Amino acid sequence: MQNGQDDGREYPVGRTQLEKLLRTVNAVLNASRLVNGRVKNGEVLQGDKWVPQYEKGKVIADPTLAKELLPTAEGFFFGSTDYDKWYVEDLKLTKSILEEALAKPELDYYYSSWW
């Protein structure tokens, strides 16, 4: 749609695209069984290196499908790149937003990005 350009402009998003994204989100959620593990909760500077800090939490047992269909991305604005309970919570929020949008067929939807 944007050919890899994050230019801040608005681009129309059709109902079919929203439905496809919802199906993808549902597939990843259904395949994302959470198990006990270590969740990254930040980093501390030790000398001249940032060292990750972990706590007990929930992680996706097998994130293969998540990595394939909805991979995380590194970068200043992207947040965590872990496949854990916070990734799942973000997907649940996305699902809720998509379902709400799809329940209102009379509205037009647009996408805009800027990094």
Segment 35-86, tens digit of pLDDT: 999 998 888 999 999 998 999 999 999 999 999 999 998 776 667 789 999 9
Share of the chain above pLDDT 70, in %: 93
Share of the chain above pLDDT 90, in %: 72
- Is pLDDT at 1 greater than 70 in this prediction? no
Give pTM, 2 decimals. Answer: 0.85
Maximum CA extent, the chain: 56
Examine the pLDDT at 32 and tell me if it is beyond 70. yes
* More confident: 5 or 99: 99
Query: What are the CA-CA distances from residue 101 to residues 13, 23, 49, 59 (Å)?
Result: 11, 14, 43, 29
